[in-house]
Structure 1
Amino acid sequence: MASNTLPDIHVDSRHRPLVLTACMLSMFMAAVEVTIVATAMPSIIADLGGFSLLGWVFAIYLLTQAITVPIYGRLADLYGCRKMFFIGTALFLGGSVLCGFAPSLVWMIAFRALQGLGAGAITPVATTLIANIYGPHERAKAQGYLASVWGVSAIVGPLLGAFIVQHFHWSVVFWINLPIGIVAMLILAKYLPAEESRKTHALDLAGTGLLSLAVAAMLLALLQAESLGYYSLLLVGLAVMASALLVRQEKRAPEPLFPLSLWQNKVVVAGNIGGIVIGASMMGISAFLPTYVQGVLGGTPLQAGTTLALMSLGWPLASTLSGKLMQATSYRFTVLLGALLLVFGSLALLLLTPGSGLWWARVSAFMIGAGMGLCNTTFIVSVQNSVDASVRGIATASTLFTRMLGSALGTAILGATLNVNLQNRLPALHDPVQMLMDKLQRQQLSAERLNHIIEQVSASLHWVFVLAAVMSFFAIAAALLLPVGHRPAKRES
């Protein structure tokens, strides 16, 4: 474990809360983008058309963001967090402005790609930046505040998007990023000192290209598996081949993009396994629990939204508490507690039945959110404290990247599980879930027919929750990889 107890960048103690606030603003801006745009998409489609391309508005943003997360993480190590933050935020804001002026959905997709290229810098660089200005003891508390932004954005995004669309033109959904991003940049420009000039580096261009190819191929295969069919297997093969070439390249590169020595660190390995589990679990509940509430339990969209909001509430509460908990106990104990909450919350979903009340689903969602909050923050802090400052950016980025990969993996696997079950149980129906979700179609069904469809959809979603519960057990395995008794180093006296 890294033993330094002092921050790597000196910022006046009076100004550190301002720098933390700027990083939280920037992360909120990037995190809220998916949910706020989703709320506005009906208005955007009505204005620009191109409904068949709707999925790419979200897929291209996630794709370019995921590809660049590890790249920016390494560039932050080589050239400094301050410089990479300004470059990424400028790209993101530029893409936001252009999205508001998009004349068609094709142009919107192009500008969303630019947004994603900038967003790939914001989260890993802001997270690394906080690690660099706070020592290990204070880092846990600061990262807890930073991680809580994800939960808050999940609640605020849909509400803010709905308000904007109702009272303004949809372009404001994108332009609202400007004041937030500019304020964050001004704060950092004033209070974050410029880092010392660094030596000339040999950027690993071959490694960057191979990493981009591997990530792009894998994510496209996962995100577009349903439309690509068996062609997605070709993309998976391309991703595996590019990954193998990447490993060979990183072994001989003078300054590798992804230093292979990181994977000899058990804490980093644990953080990456945990990232995949958290990402997959998050999608399991985000995508399919609202479907259960509306389709099976017959709840309203508002009831489905409030159920999901409890997960988003549990995350920031647990993230904020995780700092004190890991200091009082250890990284391992805190992650293990979070993993158990994640497991019990996932197992509780298996007890849902068509006759269950909403509160059982809501308690499960809160437990899962709290578990993810404890695990996510503790993994990030433990990884940052276990590596040298020279590779902290890429170590942090790898943990965040695997969470994004886990989200795509979870969506693909759990979605396929649901589709296969529905095809086997209700082969004569084209889209039984939509029949239950659509109020008019639901009312037109006879009581006997309705109950039969509800039972079969409930059984299909049950297998989705079974698989999500199995995935959650890997969080316990990741926790057990962490060294016994290790906690954030105490500040020097």
Structure 2
Amino acid sequence: MEPAGAAADPYAGEGWREILGQGRWAPFLLICFGIWLHAADGLIVVTTIPAIVADIGGLAWTGWTFALYQVASIVAASLGGLAALRFGIGRATAGASAVFTIGCALDALAPDMGLFLIGRLVQGLGGGVMVALFHVAVTRAFPERHWTRIFAWVSAVWGVSALVGPLIGGLFAEAGLWRDAYWAFAAQALLVTICSPFLFSNVAGAPQGLELRVPWRALAALVPGVLGIAVASVVDSAGLAVLSVAVGAGFLALFFYFDRREHSPLLPERSLSEVPVRFGLLMVLCFAVATISFSVYGPLLLAQLHHVSLILAGYLIAIESVAWSVTAMMVGWVRPKGEPLCIKLGASVIALGLLGFALSVPHGPIWAIALSAALQGGGFGLAWAFIARRVAAGAIAAERERAAGALPTTQMLSYAIGAALAAIIANSLGLELATPPDRLQTIGFWIFFAFLPLTLPGFRAAWRLAR
């Protein structure tokens, strides 16, 4: 006999024992571990690259160690929904993590920068598919009433990984063992390869009878589109960066055109007419593009304008990840009736953090910069799990996998676009190796303030999503 009120409130009396019951603890652990793997490995290069260049050379190509990983991750993540439909979560995750393992091994063995870059590309391919698959896995392994709490944990793990990954890389690099850092990630990825078919065995499989085809035309446009955007963030000339973004945008327009006409589209084309999917992805697009500048240019501006050590600059940037994780955990238990407030409040706090950066980075004080980082990260933490739940739940049933996979794809692509636009702004204002302080202050203002107009469509999307 059900307790009083249980039928009226499906959330009544539910704790982690209920959420992770019936064997759901296994996919939960694997999802969290896989998110850690992708997020931490994506940033480990930040602190290992000095040791890598000292060992194998290739200083001129260091910008590509992160850019290639991001390009491959974005393209591969777009395939996550189709991979889940074609192979099932377990087999698709095993294949993606095997590719990731090979990429880590290539980096660990690299005798020169050429092979190291190939390894980063392969890691991005495997990691991008994995992160999309894990978002799909949440919607298959757990009842819809639990999605918000699981997505909150995924968000928190991502934030912690972004903090811990570079620290681990720095420890290996300082010990002269940078290759062992990549062997360590290869071993972890191999563990995912072995375990995923078993730990995802109880996850609902793909619908039977689906005829899926690889959307080659859409992929052929997506690859140069993402690459063009990424190139803009690593070239020194503002003119070349603008040209690169224009070419990339043209190919992305072709991608959207072709994808709508594919037999098996990468995007949830029919679901984009649904309010939660359309405005959830638009909100992520606007705020992700607008908020990447501090991660890209924060260390340089903090070191040259405020004379802080690189370690302290790293901690200041890490505040954003910590705030994201903490707030995500705090709101993970909010009931559906509280979701609209969290989404609107998250958007407002993100915009406040962005404005804080524009005012504090050029002139300080340091505590104001730290507060702005906490606001920006905390805003995302407040809203992210609810955005993810509403996007996945709002899609039509046949496109739920594509919608769930589209969220991390949109996030990563938006960060790449934001980094490219920030590079155009910085280079057009005269950013150099030895930039005068007054010019740095100007750059420090505009690479944040110029993105504030993007918060307006972001706000509109947030308010529509929250209805």
Superposition TM-score, scaled by structure 2 size: 0.88
Counterpart secondary structure, 2:360? coil
CA distance in 2, matches of 1:420, 1:222: 12
CA contact (8 A) 1:270 1:379 kept: no
Instruction: Indicate which of 446, 452, 462 corresponds to 1:469.
Output: 452
Match of 1:18 in 2: 26
Residue type of the alignment partner of 1:306? Y
1:59-105 deviations in Å (ceiling 9; x for gaps): 22111111111112222134322221111111001111121111211
The more displaced of 386-395 and 66-75 is 386-395
Match of 1:244 in 2: 254
Instruction: Indicate which of 198, 210, 215 corresponds to 1:205.
Output: 215
1:215 equivalenced with 2:198 (yes/no): no
Match of 1:458 in 2: 441
Instruction: Indicate which of 67, 71, 96 corresponds to 2:75.
Output: 67
In the superposition, relative to structure 1, how do residues 360 and 200 fare at CA in structure 2: closer, same or farther (>3 Å)? closer
CA distance in 1, matches of 2:21, 2:236: 52
CA distance in 2, matches of 1:358, 1:245: 43
1:263 equivalenced with 2:246 (yes/no): no
In the superposition, relative to structure 1, how do residues 220 and 311 fare at CA in structure 2: closer, same or farther (>3 Å)? closer
CA contact (8 A) 2:316 2:370 kept: yes
Counterpart secondary structure, 1:422? coil
Match of 1:432 in 2: 434
CA contact (8 A) 2:30 2:199 kept: no
Match of 1:272 in 2: 281
1:191-237 deviations in Å (ceiling 9; x for gaps): 32263673252404334434434533543453345459448637734
CA distance in 2, matches of 1:139, 1:474: 26
% identical equivalent positions: 20
Residue type of the alignment partner of 1:206? W
Residue type of the alignment partner of 1:410? G
CA distance in 1, matches of 2:57, 2:196: 40
Flag structure 1 segments of 5+ consecutive residues without an equivalent.
Answer: 424-429, 434-452, 485-493
CA distance in 2, matches of 1:454, 1:249: 47
CA distance in 2, matches of 1:341, 1:217: 32
Q: How many residues align?
A: 450
CA distance in 2, matches of 1:111, 1:167: 22
CA distance in 2, matches of 1:211, 1:74: 17
Residue type of the alignment partner of 1:151? G
CA distance in 1, matches of 2:427, 2:35: 34
The more displaced of 69-78 and 304-313 is 69-78
Q: How far is 1:162 from its partner?
A: 1.3
CA contact (8 A) 1:214 1:243 kept: no
Q: How far is 1:405 from its partner?
A: 1.6
Match of 2:302 in 1: 293
In the superposition, relative to structure 1, how do residues 199 and 21 fare at CA in structure 2: closer, same or farther (>3 Å)? same
Residue type of the alignment partner of 2:118? A
In the superposition, relative to structure 1, how do residues 222 and 74 fare at CA in structure 2: closer, same or farther (>3 Å)? farther
1:462-483 deviations in Å (ceiling 9; x for gaps): 1222123333343312202215
1:329 equivalenced with 2:345 (yes/no): no
1:309 equivalenced with 2:284 (yes/no): no
Q: How far is 1:189 from its partner?
A: 3.0
Match of 1:449 in 2: none
CA contact (8 A) 2:361 2:444 kept: no
Match of 1:490 in 2: none
Bigger CA radius of gyration: 1
Match of 1:149 in 2: 157
CA contact (8 A) 1:77 1:394 kept: no
CA distance in 2, matches of 1:178, 1:231: 34
Counterpart secondary structure, 2:209? coil
In the superposition, relative to structure 1, how do residues 55 and 122 fare at CA in structure 2: closer, same or farther (>3 Å)? same
In the superposition, relative to structure 1, how do residues 469 and 475 fare at CA in structure 2: closer, same or farther (>3 Å)? same
CA contact (8 A) 2:293 2:419 kept: yes
Alignment of 1:20-419 (within 5 A): 20-193=28-201, 195=205, 198-199=208-209, 201-213=211-223, 215-224=225-234, 226=236, 229-230=239-240, 233=243, 236-237=246-247, 239-240=249-250, 243-244=253-254, 246-248=256-258, 250-251=260-261, 253-325=262-334, 327-330=336-339, 332-352=340-360, 356-419=364-427
Flag structure 2 segments of 5+ consecutive residues without an equivalent.
Answer: 1-9, 12-18
Residue type of the alignment partner of 1:467? A
CA distance in 1, matches of 2:20, 2:421: 48
Residue type of the alignment partner of 1:127? H
Q: How far is 1:48 from its partner?
A: 1.0
Counterpart secondary structure, 1:432? coil
Residue type of the alignment partner of 1:236? A
CA distance in 1, matches of 2:191, 2:249: 39
1:159-189 deviations in Å (ceiling 9; x for gaps): 1111112235211121111332233344433
Counterpart secondary structure, 2:53? helix
In the superposition, relative to structure 1, how do residues 60 and 196 fare at CA in structure 2: closer, same or farther (>3 Å)? closer
| RMSD (Å), alpha carbons | 2.8
In the superposition, relative to structure 1, how do residues 416 and 99 fare at CA in structure 2: closer, same or farther (>3 Å)? same
CA contact (8 A) 2:349 2:375 kept: yes
Superposition TM-score, scaled by structure 1 size: 0.83
CA distance in 1, matches of 2:250, 2:300: 34
CA distance in 2, matches of 1:337, 1:231: 35
Counterpart secondary structure, 1:299? coil
CA contact (8 A) 2:241 2:423 kept: no
